[in-house]
Amino acid sequence: MTQYAVTDPRTGERVSDVPTDTDEQVLEAVASAYRTFNAWGRTSSVADRAALVRRVSELHTERREALAESMNREMGKVMDDALGEVDFSAAIYAYYADHAEQFLADEPIDLLEGEGTAVIRRRPLGVILGIMPWNYPCYQVARFAGPNLTAGNTVVLKHAPQCPESAAQLAKIFSDAGFPEGAYVNIYASNEQIEQIIGDPRVQGVSLTGSERAGAAVAATAGRHLKKVVLELGGSDPFLVLGSDDMDATVDAAVAARMENTGQACNAGKRFIVTDELHDEFVSKFTAKMLGQEPAPLSSLAAAERLEGQVRSAVAAGAHLETNGERNGAWYPSGVLTGVSPDNEAFRQELFGPVAMVFRAKDEQEAIELANDTPYGLGSYVYTNDPEQAARVADQIDAGMVFVNGVGAEGVELPFGGVKRSGFGRELGRFGIEEFVNKKLIRTVS
């Protein structure tokens, strides 16, 4: 049975418990979302929905401290990071409120022959299930709920078991913003109940952000029931260092890419691939900078133990680890792994925490090959002082996103998503609102 509880990873203290919903409560959540879709989602105007979403944005700003404090308790998120996450979430809702009518406007089609007109009309699909992770409790919900509610879908939201407090706060925000009951329904459901929800004919789609294993399970269930799925899964993003006019600045960017959210981000830089002539200087400066990072807890004791096991296995298989401490509960020291060979399990694993892997490449082509030698394909980073090289390499990387000479460059207007085992579909930007709408053709002959 799934256990919903707040356990502060900084201290290990179990702060609160929340009972898992009964089967009857879960069924009523779906029924409520379905009723509201038929009464509100089908009939409300885009302008009215946009106004509600805008109010959600405003309430995030008004309640940013409380939301940040919840994330700090639930998964150890550093307060500055937590406040920034709430602000970015508010910007997502505001973005969809600003652009809703543009994104959902009718799109005429020029006829090749015949009389009359043809138009694509974007209409909501119905009830959409969202399954959200623990590492960005506000931001992930914003990516899912913002575009879907703007489009007129209703949403049933299952958050991670360790984030029941922020889940409740977010549900209250949608209620206080004026959304009708059933438009946004928070559930504390078990995995077995989620499988039943996906199979419910009243549910038209599911969006999951989480692990590769969870994504495969959800996709299999959705496939059996012919449901649309959006998956944003793990990543082992390459960070290619091919040229630099300022190695200190490049190293600062590399550390920032690795240490976002204490290294617990799907699209964090995780594999640093450096060409021969830059390798030694980069490793020296990068290692010093990584080992000088302020310690912070991972999201849970289990997360820290999992990372510790991966690193130990990597070292046992021949890798070299530079670190300045040992795990203490959920607190895990930053570190750098070198000498990770292709036959080492860590070579193709995602390390979710403050540990980086660095690889030497003899030239640009080998760097690209190393970058693509992974089952994942979420994000990637290319650092070079040669614009032609940047364009050439970016085009050859197998990933959903490539960031050239910059980290932290994501934006509410930019689509987010991956390829290969990092999932499929896109969130944010115009593409995010297109995933769960019916692009209905209306052809009028006379």
The amino acid at 81: D
| Closest of 241, 310, 233, 234 to residue 280, by C-alpha | 241
Angle at 296 between CA 294 and CA 297, to 5 degrees: 165
Residue 383, strand partner residues: 241
For residue 232, indicate whether it is catalytic: yes
Strands (E), 144-227: 154-158, 184-187, 203-209
> Catalytic pick from 232, 350, 364, 435?
232
Segments in 245-275 forming alpha helices (H): 247-259
Closest by CA to 315, choosing from 352, 340, 342, 281, is: 340
Tokens standing for 214?
A: 């969870």
In the structure encoding, which two tokens stand for residue 308, read together? Answer: 């510790």
Q: Which residue has the tokens 């990092």?
A: 422
Residue 266 is a catalytic residue: yes
Amino acid at 71: M
> What six digits make up the tokens of 297?
């807890």
Alpha helices in 327-428 (DSSP H): 364-372, 387-396
Catalytic one of 85, 138, 163, 266? 266
Please name the amino acid found at residue 418. G
Q: Which residues are catalytic?
A: 232, 266
